[in-house]
Amino acid sequence: MREKPRDPARLQHILLSIDNVLKFMNGKTRDDLTTDNLLYFAVVKNIEIIGEAAYKLTREFVESHPATPWRQIIAMRHVLVHGYYEISVEEIFGVIRNRVIPLREQIVGYLAEF
């Protein structure tokens, strides 16, 4: 049986997905998310991965890093997967515009701890 990824691996998954979102959205606007289905679903999938990887972090790690809104990140993943029909482009764009860069900075700092 393969060993399950530990916290550093999960953090790497988060970082990779954040970088994907930033790469996909480079030079793009909110309107691009509305009109380009491929872009929209690529971004949403990576936000889902961020939430799933956060969900798989150990309780010890999450509790020792309370500055990150882990519950919100995980809740966003649940909404995207289970309430996909309720998500607006504006909400996705807001996450990209307001949450992704600060989260990236935190994740890079956390990875430096290992």
10-46 residue pLDDT tens: 999 999 999 999 999 999 999 999 999 999 999 999 9
CA-based end-to-end distance of the chain = 25
45 assigned to some structural domain: yes
86-105 residue pLDDT tens: 899 999 999 999 999 999 99
- The amino acid occupying position 55 is Y
| Distances from the Cα of 7 to the Cα of 2, 16, 27, angstroms | 16, 14, 32
Provide the whole-model pTM: 0.93
User: Taking the CA atoms of the chain, what radius of gyration do you get in angstroms?
Assistant: 14
100 assigned to some structural domain: yes
| Distances from the Cα of 21 to the Cα of 1, 8, 34, 83, angstroms | 32, 20, 15, 21
Total number of domains constituting the chain? 1
Domain of residue 44: give its range: 7-112
2 assigned to some structural domain: no
| pLDDT for residue 1 | 46
1 assigned to some structural domain: no
